[in-house]
Amino acid sequence: MKSLWSETARELSPYVPGEQPRIADLVKLNTNENPYGPSPRALDAMRAASVDSLRLYPDPKAADLRDALATHHNVKPEQVFVGNGSDEVLAHAFVALLKHPKPLLIPDITYSFYPVWAQLFGVETETIPLDDNMQIQIDDYRHDAGSIIIPNPNAPTGIALPRSEIVRLLDAQPNIPVLIDEAYIDFGGESTVPAIANHPNLLVVHTMSKARGLAGLRVGYALGDENLIDALTRVKDSFNSYPLGSVAQAGAAESVRDEAYFKDYCSRIVTGREAMTRELTALGFEVLPSSANFVFARHPDRKGKELAAGLRERAILVRHFDKPRTTEYLRITVGTEDDTQRLIAAAADILNSD
């Protein structure tokens, strides 16, 4: 009965999330999840929050979590906005900050949810091609526009820009909103958060699904000038005044405060990424320089789709984006040492087969 659908629903091309299949003995390297799990202190905080008070609505302002994030990032609580995953935060930003008469500039190879939100909310976009090395060139974003969104590190390439390049963009575009999506910044990138103090048009978005290992909790947040946070809050309170439950707020806040666990996990992922890169390179793969918890790689002698299918047959799940400029690449999450060993063994088996 699609005749009952609105025109908006009929015309949408929805985002396709990574698979969550039930396959025995699966090595799941397709959705950039944390292979080690969240902070034990965060788990304890969530258990403690699972009490009779759950019959009450949560704090709509998430004050304790915002205080923890403000302390961690050296900003004021009024400069912190939290939401139900960074996807919700980003969606609110499309409505509150990125929709203008002039187009939103986005990279042509980037997080594939951006064009979906643009279509859903009627945001005109202009795609800016990555260069031949799959890198963002800041000078390409200096022309007339209504707003800009850039992931740093970029997804799915994993390539990061130094903070100085983002600041150069902010200086060149001081009168329009610039959103930097730092979902993977904790794995080797240089955060732009310190630039907020001198750039009131900058909004930085983070997720707690990757470096904090809380993908199942769905917590994301934005940092920026109070004026930008007020705009996000107006949209949030027109959509869902209680986006984060009490258990999520408690677990996320304690995760932020457990700095030692956070730093140890990030270090282990960086070490694992470097090891995976070496192993893949030894097999003849071309691996882009990554600052994320994944790598983007291709093999000159095998099609990306063929490799993805072959790995799946061997219970190794990776992400393949079948688009013109990315079809030969695989995005591979950094897992445990055992995950990497199984990946490399399976890839070698495929490459050695006729």
Among 89, 75, 266, smallest CA distance to 185 is for 266
Q: What pLDDT, on the 0 to 100 scale, is given for residue 95?
A: 97
Whole-number Cα distances in Å, 337 to 268, 269, 272:
10, 10, 7
Tell me the two tokens of residue 46: 């969530």
Q: What are phi and psi of 147, to 5 degrees?
A: -170, 170
The model's pLDDT over 164-176, given as tens digits with 9 standing for 90+, comes to 999 999 999 999 9
Q: Is 286 helix (H, G, I), strand (E, B) or coil?
A: strand
Q: What pLDDT, on the 0 to 100 scale, is given for residue 83?
A: 97
Low-confidence ranges of the chain (pLDDT < 50): none
Q: CA 297, CA 329: separation in Å to the nearest integer?
A: 5
Q: What pLDDT, on the 0 to 100 scale, is given for residue 354?
A: 62
Q: Is 144 helix (H, G, I), strand (E, B) or coil?
A: coil
Q: Is 1 helix (H, G, I), strand (E, B) or coil?
A: coil
Domain formed by 40-258, architecture: 3-Layer(aba) Sandwich (3.40)
CATH number among 3.40.50.11390, 3.90.1150.10, 3.10.20.30, 3.40.50.720, domain 2-37+260-352: 3.90.1150.10
- Please report, for the chain, the start and end positions of each structural domain, with discontinuous segments joined by +: 2-37+260-352, 40-258
Q: CA 65, CA 68: separation in Å to the nearest integer?
A: 5
The model's pLDDT over 240-253, given as tens digits with 9 standing for 90+, comes to 999 999 999 999 99
